[in-house]
Structure 1
Amino acid sequence: MTEEPNLSAQEMLKKLTPALSRRTRIRAVAALLAGLAGAVFVTVLWWSEPGELPGRTRLAFGVLTAFCLAWAGYGGWLLTCRVPLFATDRVVAAWLGLAASVTTTGLMAVVAVQRGTGLVLALAAGGVFVAAALVLAVRAHRRRAALLRRMRELTGEQ
């Protein structure tokens, strides 16, 4: 049986505190609550629609609900993490945002084609969101790579 080294109270508290900063925890709670609220709102709106909805409307409601639940899952995952993430949370959030913007742009384009109106406007509006999400994804990947590179430098790993 090996004995644990004596830890000071300060060292023990450091081991007990979560690895996430207050700002990250606030973002996680916001993502969790917004995702849950969005999922409840969209689902209630979907269920309260009278009569049979067209297929593309059901698809849109389903996709919106799925994205809301994905954000809620992201927030829950982030809150339960107790290890340093090295910006993994930013990468995951960026990919969620990119997936949501690409999917939404695709759905807007399909609706515009079916109605015969405003395909260029739908693609332009969606393109702005896709471009913004793509920039955030690239920045998140670069930040994560820089943090991991710095960690390897400090620990002497190759």
Structure 2
Amino acid sequence: MSDEPSRSAEQMISRLSGELSAWRRLRGVVALLAGLGGTVMVGTLWATEPGRLPGHTRLAFGLFVVFCLAWAGYGTWMIMRRAPLYALDRVIAGWLAVTASTGVTAVTVAVAAGRGSGLVPALAAGTVFIAVAVALTVRAHARRAALLRRKRELTERADQ
């Protein structure tokens, strides 16, 4: 009977060991950000394209959007199911999201400005993505700070 809890703990550790890789988490975040960024960029280009596009061009834009959404879905799945994020990982992922959102917004706005059309939708979509990324990053910093405070409290209690 005493072997049973240790065996179940070992089984749990062995099941989790391959899923907690930092590289796997990073790949998930990169896939998610690249997918979302690509979706926004291609969708904005498609929406701001002047005039009626030929059918094959519309199909290509649609396929690119689906492709990017698939990568975003894959990244989300990896993060949520395969690689749980820790407090510092969330902070890092938040800063990656801020950087990616800002970069994609800058490129999208530059393309829209160069074409002379669609500047407002590009700015609006980019602002929403940047605002969400900043909010998540601030929340991640606050959560990490709270966990570090709790760790210090518990360490001080254990030392007494």
TM-score (norm 2): 0.50
Counterpart residue identity of residue 112, structure 2 = A
Corresponding residue for residue 128 of structure 1: 128
Counterpart residue identity of residue 126, structure 1 = G
Following superposition, the deviation at residue 34 of structure 1 comes to: 8.3
Cα distance in 1 for residues equivalent to 2:106 and 2:148:
35
Cα distance in 2 for residues equivalent to 1:149 and 1:33:
27
Corresponding residue for residue 101 of structure 1: 101
**Ranges of 4+ aligned residues in structure 1 off by more than 3 Å:** 8-14, 31-34
Establish whether residue 113 from structure 1 lines up as the match of residue 109 from structure 2: no
List per-residue Cα deviations over 1:115-158 (Å, max 9, x = no partner): 0112222111100110011000000000000001100010018x
Higher share of residues assigned helix: 2
Corresponding residue for residue 50 of structure 1: none
- Higher relative contact order by CA 8 Å / sep ≥ 6: 1 or 2? 2
In the TM superposition, 1:40-51 aligns within 5 A as none
Following superposition, the deviation at residue 35 of structure 1 comes to: 2.2
In structure 2, the gaps of 5 or more residues are: 39-67
Establish whether residue 146 from structure 1 lines up as the match of residue 126 from structure 2: no
List per-residue Cα deviations over 1:89-136 (Å, max 9, x = no partner): 211221121111111100111101110112222111100110011000
Pairing partner for 2:31 from 12, 31, 35: 35
Do the aligned partners of 2:109 and 2:122 also contact (CA within 8 Å) in 1? yes
Following superposition, the deviation at residue 11 of structure 1 comes to: 6.2
List per-residue Cα deviations over 1:5-44 (Å, max 9, x = no partner): xxx8746837x727x7xxx89xx67x639829x78xx8xx
Question: How many residues are aligned here?
Answer: 109
Counterpart residue identity of residue 31, structure 2 = G
**What is the DSSP-based 3-state SS (H/G/I as helix, E as strand, rest coil) of the residue aligned with 1:146?**
helix
Cα distance in 1 for residues equivalent to 2:151 and 2:91:
17
Identity %: 42
Counterpart residue identity of residue 98, structure 1 = V
Cα distance in 2 for residues equivalent to 1:133 and 1:150:
26
TM-score (norm 1): 0.51
What CA RMSD, in Å, does the superposition of the two structures yield over aligned residues? 4.4
Rate the CA distance shift 1:100–1:142 in 2: closer, same or farther, 3 A.
Answer: same
Do the aligned partners of 2:29 and 2:93 also contact (CA within 8 Å) in 1? no
